[in-house]
Amino acid sequence: MSTPLNPASEEAVVAALEDFISKMEEAAPNLYDRNYITFFEENPSPKNYGETADAEGKAAYEARLGQPFEDLLQNMEGARWQGEEESPYTGKDLGITYPVFSAETLVERANLAREEWERSSPDERRACLVLALKNFEARFFEVAHATMHTTGQGFMMAFQAAGPHAADRSAESLLLCYDAVTQNDTASLWEKNMGKITLQLEKTWHTYPYGISLAIGCSTFPTWNTLPGVFASLMAGSPVIVKPHPKAVLPLALAVACIQDALDVCGFEPEVCQLAPDTAAEPLAKQLAEHELVKIIDYTGGAAFGEYLETLPGKILFTEKSGINAAIIHSVQNLDEVLGNLAFSICLYSGQMCTAPHHILIPAEGVHTPEGLVPFDEVARRYAAAVDSLAQNPKAGPFVLGAIQNKATLERLGLLKGKGKELLDHKQVAHPQFEGARILSPLVLEADESQYDQIAHEIFGPAVLVVKAQDLDACLAMARRMAVEKGALSGAVYTTDEELEEEIAYALNSAGIPVSFNLTGPVYMNQNAAFSDYHVTGGNPAGNGSIGDVTFVLRRFFRVGNKFGNLRGRNQ
Amino acid sequence: MSTPLNPASEEAVVAALEDFISKMEEAAPNLYDRNYITFFEENPSPKNYGETADAEGKAAYEARLGQPFEDLLQNMEGARWQGEEESPYTGKDLGITYPVFSAETLVERANLAREEWERSSPDERRACLVLALKNFEARFFEVAHATMHTTGQGFMMAFQAAGPHAADRSAESLLLCYDAVTQNDTASLWEKNMGKITLQLEKTWHTYPYGISLAIGCSTFPTWNTLPGVFASLMAGSPVIVKPHPKAVLPLALAVACIQDALDVCGFEPEVCQLAPDTAAEPLAKQLAEHELVKIIDYTGGAAFGEYLETLPGKILFTEKSGINAAIIHSVQNLDEVLGNLAFSICLYSGQMCTAPHHILIPAEGVHTPEGLVPFDEVARRYAAAVDSLAQNPKAGPFVLGAIQNKATLERLGLLKGKGKELLDHKQVAHPQFEGARILSPLVLEADESQYDQIAHEIFGPAVLVVKAQDLDACLAMARRMAVEKGALSGAVYTTDEELEEEIAYALNSAGIPVSFNLTGPVYMNQNAAFSDYHVTGGNPAGNGSIGDVTFVLRRFFRVGNKFGNLRGRNQ
């Protein structure tokens, strides 16, 4: 790479790192309190990032269009330059090309970089990875524009989710893994009184990663879903091969460049973390996953490929596949506030979040409110109206909806239409900055719990089913059954009867569904905060890569101990 | 059950528990120091257990012979009473029968007991399980005789390994799991400053086990290998089905009876922990393991069945299969001490320990000693002599060797004979108390590293290969290759060159082999201490159930959180 990503002098870098690490250490005990902790500023205002940050980030993104991506510090021998990203906003190819390597080359290079990295100290690795996060922070605006034009997210979500939130979840993984790796003492004089004699042994303990890691990214949240696993594996001492989705390479390419730069600055081989771009025609994920030296796999994407990965023997696998997320409306204080909140949840990024509620379950008798029982039909109608109103609001709609990442999403939604009574059809929505952006407001259909086999499927994109079920128990049973059979990543329940909360929570939690009770205002069931919300609990088939849980970092390495009969004071 | 296992009054029980729990809490921070901690007295002297304990335990064991085992608190509907244990000391059937149930019945009953157990508090579960351990402690001598006459272990090993050591490793699992389950706060007021407003949510967090647990025991260490997983799963809130090896049921039957008694006393359904005996003709392990409600499996036993279990989708599996453990002799202070130590390691329980060294690797030039280089042939000959001397010593041999658990072991060893030059043949060894006990001293063969394909196999029972390799590097390469390909559970290296230790440790540790350096005197590479030595590191195919590692307990449960928009001070 020609110029360093972080132009600060070495001293300034060292000072910034020390400051950041001391903040992290301060936060570490609170990790397990799971209170509000954040290291990165989610508000992109000039106050936080400077007057010129947005313009510079946008310009940096635009300068990449039509060019080869040359920021990686990988050996370019054997590279074929390819790229097939397309902006859902402009409809145009980005024209950026990336170096494509064979799976064998990537694994070989990771293996060459392995020993030095796995033998480095946890403190050395942590310092290097903190520097990588600081590098990444300096690029949040460029990453935001890159994310917007690959995933279709609105700018604000693209900034927050791909930048600060992804960095916070990565810091969380880093902290959890550092804590896990350093939790046990590394050496001890071990004494056992055996009556006449006291047996003395010196013991030492070490951690080693299981092998090379592979991180497979998705097209909708390339950094948020992928970087926590990458940072966890790197902290565990494992080299990582990052394989982005061919339609959303740039955000991860920027992240990997930031990591490689930090590795280089710290004197490590940059190929400890490699970018492994591929194409739809010649995908690499299978070859990489099946390679015998690849032992740890992080995967975000469709269920079918995830289930194939689950069949591979001898791999440690963390998945986020897909699920059916239900919101149940039983009784409310203010129906319009609730329907507005749930309308936002499905409009946000056009129902392309893995945590969006595509199944709204309502008891047949309707919803209890302070003004009396509102019949099911009226609730359904008012919900559809709330969705329509948000989507068609020119000041909010296009920015909340974002754009549809993949054309195929719309084709799949076409198949949904026959499954229920149409309460609201898709409508075109214009974007003030991007004429012809791929935006469509959500379809709202009404269905009945008796149609279970027809409707208990993942819905991805702008569409939602309002489902009539016999009563609250039937709503809970259906939400639970969908989770147990197909997975679920989120759940919401609205009830004013606080005495029901414990049983409702148990019914859904024990099927691995986290429950958001009675959310209104600017907080949504779709959202998962770093240092506080587990993402993917592992309790149902939606996946097992529970970001924020210690298990997510611990399973990447093993512990091994040595004993020494010849004492020489290793523990001094 | 007619009489309670623990005859103490309720008050005395409560006091004992409080005392034990406070000791455990005191020990908890030190768990991660991995220093010497023990809760149970390993020395069976009358000072520790009372003058009559041994005689009473022996009498209790003998009273069971020829009788149905009626101490379980399980529903006996549908039981078929069967049993096929045989004492390797007397050659006679024990004649004890156990209630055999269908897999479906066992899983159904576990599932009925599930909800109450998984919803109990961690403190309730811990108190109940501590009581179970205290119940078990009261039966250490009966368990010792039961273990001796099913596994063939000598009395001292049967007492220590099956009683106090198994109980200590169970306490370790219990403590680690309690710590993991309670590590995170359970509720918090979560506040996020959003500029104009401060967002407030109440959050709660819970843990739930993945499902029903199955623990599959082996015939050589029925309690030591099985109980740590049983206690970990129970502490995680999972009901456990304990399926003993049909040739070693009694030790686990006694343990399960102790657990059921504690469950009963604490007001839980005793079928939270069920014994699931089976027979060689109609094994139950496969049906139980494949059941969709069984999610967690602990397995100790042969590699073939372990590899089949690894193919089952959707299971969380902890294994101890088998390995090839090497001892490497490079340079020593006192050759006779070293050879004596390694002779003991292979004689101890006749090489039926999964951690015994069956492959002694020695550089072709021989071993460096203060008196000069001792040629390979002489080292091999003196090692065989050390084995012979220990085995033929009438005051030590039969007690250290114990008896051969399974007749088939001797048949398999017959196949080994052609593979190398015979340095020492098997000899019959008489036992002063048991005429005709199945005891045979170890066979010692000499082989060469060039025979790798022929000799790189697990050897189980009284036999050992002394292997000539080119030099120290060749010894390390062979030990490492055997571990990577076939697994290894232990390793030993003798070298006086301390500068080599770090590289030797890395070479073997990174293949998941713990290394014992320069052990002499009464401490052996076979031994793994609770609260200090990981058993099965996970770093090679020998297994992944690393007893003592946090991962061994954490993977049994998932964490799930709820958010409440309606604040009401859950965290107060």
Residue A164: the pLDDT is 98
- Alpha-carbon radius of gyration of chain A: 25
**CATH 3.40.309.10 in chain A, residues?**
326-517
Best A558, A567, A570 member to test B by mutation, with max B CBs in 10 Å, is A558
d(CA B215, CA B238): 12
- Alpha-carbon radius of gyration of chain B: 25
d(CA B122, CA A538): 20
Residue B386 confidence (pLDDT) above 70: yes
Average pLDDT for chain B: 95
**CATH 3.40.605.10 in chain B, residues?**
10-30+43-322+546-558
Residue recorded with tokens 């069984």: B294
Residue B516: list chain A partners with CB under 8 A.
562-563, 565
In this structure, of B14-18, B180-184, B431-435, the range with the lowest mean pLDDT score is B14-18
Fold of A38-322+546-558: Aldehyde Dehydrogenase; Chain A, domain 1 (3.40.605)
Best A559, A570, A571 member to test B by mutation, with max B CBs in 10 Å, is A559
Q: Which whole-number Å values give the CA distances from A33 to A178, A529, A531, B182, B407, in the listed order?
A: 17, 14, 9, 11, 56
Residue B180: the pLDDT is 95
Residue B8: the pLDDT is 52
Residue B438 confidence (pLDDT) above 70: yes
Give the residue from A292, A239, A240 showing the smallest Cα distance to A120.
A239
- Give B222: exposed, middle or buried? Use CB within 10 Å, 0-12, 13-18, 19+: buried
Residue B354 confidence (pLDDT) above 70: yes
d(CA A562, CA B201): 47
d(CA B564, CA B190): 10
pLDDT band at B299 (very low <50, low <70, confident <90, very high): very high
Residue A569: the pLDDT is 62
CA distance A175 to chain B (A): 15
The residue-averaged pLDDT of B192-204 equals 91
Residue A562: list chain B partners with CB under 8 A.
505, 509, 514-517
Answer CATH for B10-30+43-322+546-558 from 1.10.10.10, 3.40.50.1820, 3.40.605.10, 3.40.50.920: 3.40.605.10
Residue B391 confidence (pLDDT) above 70: yes
Domain A326-517 in CATH 3.40.309.10: yes
Where do the H-state alpha helices sit in B431-544?
452-455, 472-486, 501-509
Q: Which whole-number Å values give the CA distances from A29 to A36, A167, A438, A531, B219, in the listed order?
A: 13, 19, 45, 11, 44
* pLDDT by position in tens, chain A (length 572): 333 444 456 787 788 889 999 999 898 888 888 889 999 999 999 999 999 999 999 999 999 999 999 999 999 999 999 999 999 999 999 999 999 999 999 999 999 999 999 999 999 999 999 999 999 999 999 999 999 999 999 999 999 999 999 999 999 999 999 999 998 888 889 999 888 889 999 999 999 999 999 999 999 999 999 999 999 999 999 999 999 999 999 999 999 999 999 999 999 999 999 999 999 999 999 999 999 999 999 999 999 999 999 999 899 999 999 999 999 999 999 999 999 999 999 999 999 999 999 999 999 999 999 999 999 999 999 999 999 999 999 999 999 999 999 999 988 898 898 899 999 999 999 999 999 999 999 999 999 999 999 999 999 999 999 999 999 999 999 999 999 999 999 999 999 999 999 999 999 999 999 999 999 999 999 999 999 999 999 999 999 999 999 999 999 999 999 999 987 665 44
Q: Which whole-number Å values give the CA distances from B201 to A220, A536, B441, B564, in the listed order?
A: 27, 20, 69, 6
Which residue type sits at B199? Answer: L
Q: Decide if A515 touches B, using CB distance below 8 A.
A: yes
Task: Decide if A332 contacts A503 (C-beta within 8 A).
Answer: no
Interface of A with B in 105-124 (CB under 8 A): 118-119
Residue count (chain B): 572
Residue B569 confidence (pLDDT) above 70: no
Count Cα atoms within 13 angstroms, Cβ side, for B91: 8
Residue B34: list chain A partners with CB under 8 A.
184-185, 188, 190, 203, 205, 561
Q: Decide if A513 touches B, using CB distance below 8 A.
A: yes
3-state secondary structure of B243: strand
Residue B9: the pLDDT is 65
Residue A2: the pLDDT is 33
- Where would I find the beta strands (DSSP E) of B321-416? 326-329, 359-363, 367-369, 372-374
Q: Decide if A34 touches B, using CB distance below 8 A.
A: yes
| Closest chain A residue by Cα to residue B315 | A310
CA distance B324 to chain A (A): 17
The neighbouring-strand residues paired with B242 are B215, B275
pLDDT digits (tens, 9 = 90+) for A463-512: 999 999 999 999 999 999 999 999 999 999 999 999 999 999 999 999 99
Interface of B with A in 524-553 (CB under 8 A): 529, 532-534, 537-539, 546, 549-551
CA distance A86 to chain B (A): 34
CB contact under 8 A, B519 and A205: no
Structure tokens at B30: 């030190």
Q: How many Å separate Cα B352 from the centre of its chain?
A: 13
Residue B563: list chain A partners with CB under 8 A.
514-517, 519, 523, 533
pLDDT digits (tens, 9 = 90+) for B239-270: 999 999 999 999 999 999 999 999 999 999 99
Residue B3 confidence (pLDDT) above 60: no
d(CA A317, CA A535): 16
**CATH 3.40.605.10 in chain A, residues?**
38-322+546-558
Residue recorded with tokens 């005793």: B270
- Give B55: exposed, middle or buried? Use CB within 10 Å, 0-12, 13-18, 19+: exposed
Q: Given the DSSP bridges, would you call strands B372-374 and B367-369 parallel, antiparallel or unpaired? A: antiparallel
CB contact under 8 A, A522 and B206: no
Residue B185: list chain A partners with CB under 8 A.
32-34
- Give A454: exposed, middle or buried? Use CB within 10 Å, 0-12, 13-18, 19+: middle
CA distance A155 to chain B (A): 18
Residue A28: the pLDDT is 86
Interface of A with B in 195-234 (CB under 8 A): 195, 197, 199, 201, 203-206, 208, 210
- Give B255: exposed, middle or buried? Use CB within 10 Å, 0-12, 13-18, 19+: buried
Interface of B with A in 388-447 (CB under 8 A): none
Indicate the pTM of the whole model: 0.96
Q: What is the DSSP string of B19-70?
A: HHHHHHHHHHHHHTTT----SS-----HHHH-TTHHHHHHHHHHHHTTSB--
The residue-averaged pLDDT of B522-549 equals 95
Q: Decide if A564 touches B, using CB distance below 8 A.
A: yes
Residue B523: list chain A partners with CB under 8 A.
199, 201, 563, 565
CB contact under 8 A, B554 and A558: no
Residue A16: the pLDDT is 84
CA distance B98 to chain A (A): 34
Query: E strand or H helix at A310, and its extent?
Result: helix A303-310
CA distance B35 to chain A (A): 6
Residue B100 confidence (pLDDT) above 60: yes
Structure tokens at B50: 């009372």
Q: Decide if B523 touches A, using CB distance below 8 A.
A: yes
Rounded to the nearest 10 degrees, what angle do helices A53-64 and A140-151 cross at? 50
Can you give the three-state secondary structure of A30-49, one letter per residue? HHCCCCCCCCCCCCCCHHHH
